[in-house]
Structure 1
Amino acid sequence: MTALDQSAKPTRVRYMIIGLLFVLTTINYADRATMSIAGTAVQHDLGISSISLGYIFSAFGWAYVIGQIPGGALLDRFGSKKVYLGSILAWSLCTFSQGFASWMAPASAVIALFILRFMLGIAESPSFPANARIVAAWFPDRERGTATAIFNSAQYAALIFFAPLMGWVTERYSWHYVFFIMGTLGVLAGLSFYKIVHAPHSHPRINKQEFDYLTEGGALTQLDKKGGSDTRVKASWFVIRQLLTNRMLCGIYIGQYCITALTYFFATWFPIYLVKERGMSITEAGFGAAAPAICGVAGGILGGILSDRLIKRGNSVSVSRKTPFVIGMLLSVAVLLCNFTESETLVLVFMALAFFGKGLAALGWAIIADAAPRQVTGLSGGIFNAIGNIAGIVTPIGIGYIVQKTGSFDLALVFVAAHSVLAMFSYLVIVGPIRRFTLRLPDGSIARATTPSAASPRTVHA
């Protein structure tokens, strides 16, 4: 039987693709969170202040922001696979190398950690735009919200699977082993990526039925194919200016900045909050961070499913994407309730509710895939992620100063909750209808995308 036999069942290669993206993104976020788990031990061994630790945390954010637009442009030029593979191997090396800082003099170790965290940010910068690009190529419109929610929920899975492990390794052995273990896992994941992930038009396991299903459903199956269906538009200031001045996109950027502020609180200061403010051990904090993260995964997947179901029932993209976002941001304000209890159990309950809400709202990558011009999906994702991750600079440093000056996390939690309120305002007032943005070319014409090609993939199987 050949792939041309229309009775053949479609393959399900896209599920294998999203499964691997979930694993990769889990390791990606665990590598970012290594310092938050090891941070208390690092402070003790190196004798550094909360402000200094905040700057070490922020080094990743500075570089991650700087690398977004170049990373997005590289994705559009060279394709998702080549750029993403290089990113995985580079960030794994940077993670592994941080373990050697423990054998340096304290002052040198602080500088080395800052530099390596900065390099980690550069290396990881193409990762989420690449995830979004791969999902746009492999999933039709009506499945994209769920697929995006799956890889996005990996940020919580990182805390579930790796926070307890990293906490135990730190207490049982030493904090530098955390970096050695995570760096090694990253290299192994990169090898798996190389073997499994290909573009739809060239994947050896996809058959014609699945390929046609993707193409007819709006998946950008020809995205990385030379001579593909969409008009190529080179990255330029003329294009970037359009992406930065559109009201809808600006509202989406603000929302992403706000939700990313919550992400960086949970990925940097949250375990330290549990240790310093709530008196938990490092191991207890690792397990304590994992418990609410389970709710984050549940919220993330539920948000994607709810959004896609609303679309299938005939609701507009705006209603389908905004509804989970606004409800989720409202629930995330529960982080403030931690200031009004001394119970460790209630703290974890309130944090779990906030995690769940943040997960429910984490549809930004699906939204930018819905709104970005087809010709510059990588660049659009890079700008979106760059603006969002400015929060990775502001949040760790801001909370570091708040904690250092007040001796408490109370105002830090107010700072975090305020971002949830601003995110709701942005989506309800600024964004307006969510629809595909159309670029204009320098000659004044509109950059048009032709009808997606229905050409069969290079190799197909029944």
Structure 2
Amino acid sequence: MNTKPPVRPTRKRYQILALIFVTVVINYMDRSNISVAAFAISDELGLTTVQMGLIFSAFAWTYSALQIPGGILVDQIRPRILYPAIMILWSVATLVQGFANSIAALVGCRAAIGVFEAPSYPANNKIVTSWFPEKERASAIAIYTSGQFIGLAFLTPALILIQTYLGWRGLFFISGAIGIFWAVAWYFLYRSPQEHRGVNRAELELIAADGGLIETSVTDEERNTFSWKDLGEAFIHRKLWGVYLGQFCLGSLFIFFLTWFPTYLVKYRGLDFIKSGFLASVPFLAAFVGVLLSGFTSDALVRKGYTPEIARKAPILIGMLLSVSIIGANYTDSTFWVIFFLSVAFFGNGLASIAWVFISLLAPRRLIGLIGGVFNFIGGLAAALTPIVIGYLVTDSSFEPALFYIGAIAFLGFCSYLFLIGKVERIADRK
């Protein structure tokens, strides 16, 4: 009797994950290059800390405001079309920053980047939810989220060197050109699970059998139409407010590293500009380790039979508590200990950065993009508010109030996950 051996599933989902990872690196390069250029920009244009705080936060004004519309777009437009379109647009806005000669021009460019990056993270989550089974999803989210940390860890010294030799304007020109090139590559490389020629039936069945929503963008007829009742659904559940508030708190620490961190090291800790670039990479590497440890540990706990309340919440709760340690930098004059406390805090931020998995697990199936948009909208408010708050809290001689503020916000995030989310289960679709 001849029996055919079972067909082994292909592994094309990991190639898709690699595409998302590179895109996240470029995404955060275009968000963070302003922090590298900030010292030179403020010196050349004569800007104050409050004015720089406005420039830092301008990206988040539009990015946050357009998260919900961006999430709706993600539910309507295929990633193969949507992603390269928005990537080209935000890369052009990045490049145009190199021509800016005023605070108004810089604010306008940063706001434009926020407009076009708004759908990116809801799109990332939608793609991973379509391509990965639930038992692999936290690891997948951790891997692409790590792009924002590992990319910045290695890119920060590189961006500083580019600015050293080509100036801050050249930094923006090169950053924008890289994004345009990758947008073209994405269009030719990305396909949905059903359309990808390299995916066999066994891999599709593996994904679908464990909650992968491979059917989320099958045909135009099955694509969702927006309803205002759907938007209301995103705001009426306590467990969703738990992750929303947690994301705001998580984003407050992250945006400090994305904006004020180099200025803190150079102006308030007296480090050389080049040296600060290499020291600044250490907390990003710590966060990179944290997010990967969190994702793989969380999925391992799921496979061992632990409840989602333990497997998914524990890394985030531990991470939020560790983030409070940023306050320790206020009590030392040693560069080593300053970097140590900041690295522990950012390691904790990395541990907590798998929070997107809760959108995959809690949101009604047809509203993943929309609720992901709301989630990122509220998280984006931290990016809009925190740079300005820090600009007002710091003085010419002290950064201490800003670090106390960030530590307190991190503890609030811990309380949010501990007391608001409750049982981790998908909310029933009321349609």
Shorter-chain TM range is over 0.9
The separation in 1 between residues aligned to 2:239 and 2:226, in whole angstroms, is: 20
2:303 maps to which of 312, 333, 337 = 312
Q: Please say if residues 130 and 378 of structure 1, whose CA atoms lie closer than 8 Å, have aligned partners that are also in contact.
A: yes
**Which of 187, 194, 203 is 1:201 aligned to?**
194
Q: Identify the match of residue 408 of structure 1 among 398, 414, 418.
A: 398
The TM-score normalised by the length of structure 2 is 0.97
Is 2:274 aligned against 1:283? Answer: yes
- Matched with 1:454 is none
Contact 2:76–2:223 (Cα < 8 Å) also in 1: no
On the 8 A contact 2:265/2:271 being kept in 1, the answer is yes
**Are 2:87 and 1:88 aligned?**
yes
Q: Is the 8 A contact 1:258 1:419 kept in 2?
A: yes
Q: Deviations over 1:338-367 (max 9, x none)?
A: 011111111111111111111011111111
Matches within 5 A, 1:2-13: 7-13=6-12
Letter in 2 for 1:235: F
Aligned position for 2:121: 128
For 2:18, the equivalent position in structure 1 comes to 19
Give the 3-state SS of the residue equivalent to 2:66 in structure 1.
helix
Of residues 155, 159, 163, the one that matches 2:156 is: 163
Q: Distance in 2 between matches of 1:203 and 1:383?
A: 30
Q: Give the partner amino acid of 2:99.
A: F
Give the drift of 1:183.
0.7
- Residue number in structure 2 paired with 1:452: none
Report the equivalent of 2:414. Answer: 424
Gaps of 5+ in 2: none
Match of 1:322 in 2: 313
In structure 2, the CA distance between the partners of 1:399 and 1:207, relative to structure 1 (3 Å rule), is: same
Count of matched residue positions in the alignment of Structure 1 and Structure 2: 428
Deviation by residue 1:361-395 (Cα, 9 ceiling, x = unmatched) = 11111111111111111111111100111001110
Whichever residue aligns with residue 161 of structure 1, its letter is F
Q: Residue 382 of structure 1: which of 373, 377, 388 is its match?
A: 373
Separation of aligned partners in 2, 1:327 and 1:202: 40
Aligned to 2:327: 336
Shift, 1:232, TM fit: 5.5
Q: Is the 8 A contact 1:96 1:181 kept in 2?
A: yes
Indicate conservation of the 8 Å contact 2:365/2:429, yes or no.
no
The 3-state SS of whatever aligns with 2:260 is: helix
Q: Secondary structure at the match of 1:276?
A: helix
Give the CA deviation at 1:227. Answer: 6.2
Residue 437 of structure 1 deviates from its aligned partner by: 1.1
Q: Root-mean-square deviation (CA), in Å?
A: 1.4
1:44-63 Cα offsets, whole Å, 9 max, x none, are 00000000000011110000
Paired with 2:125 and 2:410, the residues of 1 have a C-alpha distance of 23
Structure 1 residue 162: Cα displacement: 1.1
CA distance in structure 1 between the partners assigned to 2:360 and 2:107 by the alignment: 33
Q: Any stretches of 5+ residues in structure 1 without a counterpart?
A: 441-446, 448-462
Contact kept? 2:35, 2:262, Cα under 8 Å: yes
Corresponding residue of 2:363: 372
**Which residue matches 1:36?**
35
1:217-242 CA-partner distances (Å, limit 9, x unpaired) = 211111111168xx755323222112
Does the Cα contact within 8 Å between 1:65 and 1:386 map onto a contact in 2?
yes
Letter of the 2:164 counterpart: E
What amino acid does structure 2 have at the position aligned with 1:411? P
Instruction: Indicate how the Cα distance of structure 1 residues 180 and 227 shifts in structure 2: closer, same or farther if over 3 A, else same.
Output: closer
String of CA shifts for 1:199-252, please: whole Å, max 9, x gaps.
100002111221111111211111111168xx7553232221121121000111
Work out the percentage of aligned pairs sharing the same amino acid.
Answer: 39
Q: Which amino acid aligns with 2:76?
A: R
| Contact 2:35/2:258 (<8 A) preserved | yes
The answer to whether the aligner puts 1:299 opposite 2:329 as a matched pair is no
1:73 aligned onto 2:72: yes
Using structure 1 for the length normalisation, give the TM-score: 0.90
How far apart in 1 are the matches of 2:79 and 2:183?
Answer: 13
CA distance in 1, matches of 2:279, 2:224: 47
Name the amino acid aligned to 1:69. I
Equivalent position of 2:55 in the other structure:
56
Residue in structure 2 matched with residue 212 of structure 1 by the alignment = 205
1:148 and 1:381 mapped to 2: Cα distance? 13
Q: Out of 153-162 and 422-431, give the one that drifted further.
A: 153-162
Matches within 5 A, 1:123-272: 123-226=116-219, 233-272=224-263
Report what 1:439 is aligned to: 429
Looking at structure 2, the residues matched to 8 and 430 of structure 1 have their Cα atoms a distance apart, in angstroms, of 44
Q: Post-superposition shift, 1:38?
A: 0.6
2: CA distance between counterparts of 1:234 and 1:373? 15
Checking the alignment, whether the CA contact within 8 Å between 1:167 and 1:285 is kept in structure 2 is no
* 8 A Cα contact 1:258 1:420, kept in partner: yes
Q: For 1:173 and 1:83, how far apart are their aligned partners in 2?
A: 32
1:357 aligns with 2:340: no
1:305 CA drift (Å):
0.6
**Alignment of structure 1 residues 89-108 onto 2, 5 Å:** 89-101=88-100, 104=101
* Whole-angstrom CA distance in 2 between matches of 1:159 and 1:78: 29
